[in-house]
Structure 1
């Protein structure tokens, strides 16, 4: 009887140890393709918090171009945009808002959440189309300012070498992203607005936006 009881106790302890080890292992970042990425720290942090996912458990594909669906999902997840504070008579569906977005696919909810949190995505967008740097910046800033209820700020516009290439509708968002240091220009002060953004570049911006949001939520500057 004593032997049996000892075996039961040992088995229970072993199972507990294996369970804890398994949980720790599951929480460990598993992307094997970000070791040499300039966004390694940001990607790992976002993954650990459940804000980003890879193509599978091993691949984030940091240098791959970010699609509109991926970018919208990254923005809504990182900023935790949701419908929690909104009441509806009928539950919204993506296909009634966006011409080319299907219902019940992995990105449907992200588009709904973005739309109802003032992210100004065009109704005729293509979820598979690449996002440019100016587009992702504008959408990210719209989501950030909604999530944090930021005040209007008086900006002294930063000089941008290729400002003439920026679409005027994105200009304000880009300048605000520079003000909050979500974007940081290099020595050449170029923004490259029309360049398709990579998943790594987007992750860095999303990480910075999350930090700005958390600072605002911890010590709110009231909107006027």
Structure 2
């Protein structure tokens, strides 16, 4: 099934040299590709929906390519299934946002590995040898390839990493790469966007060749008897002039943002099984198939299309056009980016207490309104605004939420659900772009309080002994000015995390002026959100320390 999907994507992408009407204006607005050696490749991939410009006017051909951008290009070229239900990678902790579904699809297909433990480094630059390895691994998913023994004649072949040499050799054998005009390969150099476009088109061509090389044969299939075609009256040769019958029951299904599956019932022909052509909007032709369905790719989201099918035989005889069937491609979800969450807490914008206002901010390329299932911590936002920036082209939305007593302690959650003026919805977004969240804190609770001295008898202390007050809580604690031990400030105060709780210690050194008898203390602390504890003056386990200057 994988090979069939890839074959359909390749077949459709390769015919995009003749630009369909639906794509006629896709690249005409780029002002920076006329002098690029990759202009034709850029146009082909943009028209096929495999690569995009950096904005509506620029492609930035000399710009360096990130690992996430190249993997996305390859996943689109291979037509791999992409699960966009989550904007966080299931495999790599450092991949969040738009690239996550593509990186996961590539990892599942076996064409990439990470750069470390649960890391992919999506924003790092991609070297030429790294991009070559990814392409070859992608080509291997199409079918068996050879070429590991091809000699590497690049002037800098010795600079190619050992782990990459066999892949570079196979890439040369299949025409994926050719090197630079000066004979070098520059394996450690960063790949550029125009180089990626050329590599992408080379991959599509090579993948078709590999598919043909690996086309299965059935030795058990009986040889078909030759078809005897009656001679044409009045001539001295036999000529097939009979067209196949009209394909029947044309339907469309599996409609996505950029593809439609067209199916039909087989035609018959006097000279064997016919082939078929699918016509889009009475113009663009998708050649060819001997099956009874075709996945038409490279379409524009939220667009009407009409499809017709014709059968033809080896002699070139064509059936009539079928009646057109229509399909409307799925609208592309509203893209949400740069999601952040912060509070107006005076001490820490990543903490919030009752009464603090938390702001959820994100960007879109168009004005949006919130839907009823837009939630912050399970509740409706207090306010929602969407404002265009002065530069234009970017809209910043802000939703605020005021923390109250009903909000539970811990990390806040949210669900961004918006739509544009056309009624197109965004995907549900539940994660921030930078992975940071706001934690709701309530007043600190002291789960354990103990006191002991470093004396041989921890329940007694004399001059020079150190007494330690130990406090356990679920939050980090900060000392207030009225935190006292025996009426004085502690000599030291420290709050350290220990697993799921925090251990806070305050020490006090006796100097001979402390009165005899049981020591006293007043624990007054606050958490990082600024909430105070209740003053505590007793231990939870009954421990105490008595000052005694004699016989200790």
Aligned to 2:91: 97
Q: Assess, with a 3 A threshold, how the Cα gap between structure 1 residues 152 and 24 changes in structure 2: closer, same or farther.
A: closer
Alignment check: 8 A CA contact 2:150 2:170 kept: no
Residue 116 of structure 1: how far off its partner (Å): 0.9
Q: Assess, with a 3 A threshold, how the Cα gap between structure 1 residues 94 and 163 changes in structure 2: closer, same or farther.
A: farther
Correspondence 1:112 to 2:104: yes
Aligned residue pairs total 192
Alignment check: 8 A CA contact 1:42 1:203 kept: yes
Q: Assess, with a 3 A threshold, how the Cα gap between structure 1 residues 64 and 187 changes in structure 2: closer, same or farther.
A: closer
**Aligned-residue CA RMSD (Å):** 2.5
Which structure 1 residue ranges, 5 or more long, are not aligned? 1-21, 85-90
Aligned to 1:221: 214
2: CA distance between counterparts of 1:114 and 1:27?
26
Alignment check: 8 A CA contact 2:146 2:170 kept: no
1: CA distance between counterparts of 2:34 and 2:202?
20
Which structure 2 residue ranges, 5 or more long, are not aligned? 1-20, 217-552
Aligned to 1:137: 132
Q: Assess, with a 3 A threshold, how the Cα gap between structure 1 residues 141 and 30 changes in structure 2: closer, same or farther.
A: farther
Q: Give the structure with higher Rg (CA).
A: 2
| Secondary structure in structure 1 of the residue aligned to 2:109 | coil
Correspondence 1:33 to 2:32: yes
| Secondary structure in structure 2 of the residue aligned to 1:149 | coil
Alignment check: 8 A CA contact 1:131 1:196 kept: yes
Cα displacement string for residues 155-181 of structure 1 (whole angstroms, at most 9, x for unaligned residues): 332323222221211111111110001
State TM-score, norm by structure 1: 0.76
Q: Assess, with a 3 A threshold, how the Cα gap between structure 1 residues 120 and 108 changes in structure 2: closer, same or farther.
A: same
Aligned to 1:13: none
2: CA distance between counterparts of 1:24 and 1:78?
17
Alignment check: 8 A CA contact 1:29 1:47 kept: no
1: CA distance between counterparts of 2:41 and 2:56?
17
Q: Assess, with a 3 A threshold, how the Cα gap between structure 1 residues 191 and 25 changes in structure 2: closer, same or farther.
A: closer
Cα displacement string for residues 8-35 of structure 1 (whole angstroms, at most 9, x for unaligned residues): xxxxxxxxxxxxxx94654554322111
Q: Assess, with a 3 A threshold, how the Cα gap between structure 1 residues 151 and 196 changes in structure 2: closer, same or farther.
A: closer
Higher relative contact order (CA 8 A, sep 6+): 1
Q: Assess, with a 3 A threshold, how the Cα gap between structure 1 residues 93 and 60 changes in structure 2: closer, same or farther.
A: closer
1: CA distance between counterparts of 2:168 and 2:129?
7
Residue 120 of structure 1: how far off its partner (Å): 2.5
Instruction: Tell me which protein shows more helix as a share of its residues.
Output: 1
Residue 138 of structure 1: how far off its partner (Å): 0.6
Cα displacement string for residues 35-74 of structure 1 (whole angstroms, at most 9, x for unaligned residues): 1111000000011111111112221110000011111111
2: CA distance between counterparts of 1:37 and 1:156?
30
Instruction: Tell me which protein shows more strand as a share of its residues.
Output: 2
Q: Assess, with a 3 A threshold, how the Cα gap between structure 1 residues 214 and 57 changes in structure 2: closer, same or farther.
A: farther
